[in-house]
Amino acid sequence: MSFVRCIRTLQVGGSNMKMDQLSSEKRNRIVNALVKEYAQRGYLNASTNSIVKDAGISKGSLFNYIGNKEAQYCYIVSYVLNFFKDKLHDYMTGVDVPKDYFESLLFKSNMKIKMSLEYPLEYKLMFDAYMEESPEIKAFMAEKYAFFSDLSMQNGRETLDSETLKDPNDRDKIVEVVHHLIAGYSTNYLNSRKKLSEDEIVEVLEKMTVELDTYFQLFRKHFFK
């Protein structure tokens, strides 16, 4: 399945008509098998034989429900990304999320640490997907990143109160710079470490949260009242 076909089929949320029509029990078995295999062995080394064995289905059924290896990876990564987007919303519902722009970013970062502890395999799969070298997966993840990047900046513009700035007209620029700071810092940090174990992911998230706060203090000093 080509990248374009994969995007058209899955859209943003990881939806797949044939998978959606399965019973929740069977769909969950397949999803769990996909997460386990691709998180533990990666895209190139994953075995469809192991997946169908864990899921309790035939290889023909797997290909019929989702498709080949590329389509499987696209599906499960989309599924996990959407799962974490919803889970982050759930975590932040009914709690006192800081009103301050930077405090809210740090709060979200701590929520991601919580998610990585609660769902270690899923989080590892998501991290590894962003570091995947296969051209078809890199293209797929670039599309995903663009979508979530736009969503993140939109949320940032809604969170940052321009009245707290020395110059209210700087709001959109600050949101964009902070977004690119987090993205670039995260990418460089992860590139220096390549594949991470589940325990290492938690350590990386914790260290990144602390270090990013030092950059946030600079923004406070120079752009905020």
Per-residue pLDDT tens digits for 80-134? 998 988 888 888 887 888 888 999 888 888 888 888 888 889 988 988 898 888 8
Residue 204 is predicted with a pLDDT of 77
Q: Alpha-carbon distance 138 to 103, whole Å? A: 32
Confidence band of 4 (pLDDT split at 50, 70, 90)? very low
Task: Over range 65-94, report the average pLDDT.
Answer: 89
Q: Alpha-carbon distance 209 to 53, whole Å? A: 39
Burial of 40 (0-12, 13-18, 19+ CB in 10 A): middle
48-52, 104-108, 200-204: which has the highest mean pLDDT? Answer: 48-52
Percent of the chain at pLDDT exceeding 70: 89
Residues 219 and 174 sit within 8 Å (Cβ to Cβ) = yes
Confidence band of 18 (pLDDT split at 50, 70, 90)? confident
Confidence band of 13 (pLDDT split at 50, 70, 90)? very low
Residue 174 in this model has a pLDDT that exceeds 90? yes
Dihedral (C-alpha) 202, 134, 192, 128: value to the nearest 10 degrees?
A: 0
Residue 77 in this model has a pLDDT that exceeds 70? yes
Residue 12 is predicted with a pLDDT of 37
Burial of 20 (0-12, 13-18, 19+ CB in 10 A): exposed
Confidence band of 193 (pLDDT split at 50, 70, 90)? low
Residues 10 and 17 sit within 8 Å (Cβ to Cβ) = no
